Chain A
Amino acid sequence: QVQLVESGGGVVQPGGSLRLSCAASDFPFSNYNMHWVRQAPGKGLEWIAFIHYSGSDHYYADSVKGRFTISRDNSKNTLYLQMNSLRADDTAMYYCARDQSAGENWFDPWGQGTLVAVSS
C-alpha cells in the first residue's frame, strides 16, 4: 500500500533548526514530484514547498522562502525539509504529499503528519 511516513518533528526554540523526513514506500518514489503542506493549529492548509521528481526544480511559498529547503534522496525513497530560522508562526502540523500523477500538483496520498512547535 502506498505510504508516506513523516518524522523529525518536535519542540524547537525560535531561531532554531529542524529537519523533517518523509519515508515513502510501495511506489516508484523517483518518478513522482513531492510537496510539503502545513497546517497551523486550528487553521487551514498551506502549501509550502515542491520538488521535482529528479530533484532539479523547487518552488516555495513566500512564507518559507530563504529559510526552508526541500530535498530528496531517491536512493533512500526519502523526502526532506530543512527548516532554519524558525519562528513561532511556523508552529504547525507538517504533511508530506505526493503528486497524484505526473506533474498535476494535487496531492494523493498524504502522510500522517509530524508536529513542529516553535516555542521558548
Chain B
Amino acid sequence: GQNIDQPTEMTATEGAIVQINCTYQTSGFNGLFWYQQHAGEAPTFLSYNVLDGLEEKGRFSSFLSRSKGYSYLLLKELQMKDSASYLCAVADSNYQLIWGAGTKLIIKP
C-alpha cells in the first residue's frame, strides 16, 4: 500500500529552528510537496522536490532523499504565524497526490 508518515505534532520556540520529517512508501515517485495549512483554511504550497538535495526558499527549506524515501521541511527563525499544520504529499506513478496526515506545529513565545 501507499503510506506517508509524519509526526502528529511538534512544539518549537519563536526564533528557533524546527525540522519536520516525512517518510514515504508509494507506488512510483514523481515529486514531493510540502503544504502549509492554517486551521479552517485550504493548504498553501510551500515547496516541491523531485531530485535529491536541499531546496531553499527564504526561511523555509525542503530536503529530499529518494533512496531513503525521506524528506524534511526546515523552518528557520520561527514566527508565531508559522503555527499551522504542515502537510507532506507525494505524487505517485500516476501523478496522483498521496497526502500525509499533517504535522501540527505549535510555536511558543
User: Are A and B interaction partners?
Assistant: no
Question: What residues make up the interface of B, taking CB atoms closer than 8 Å to A?
Answer: none
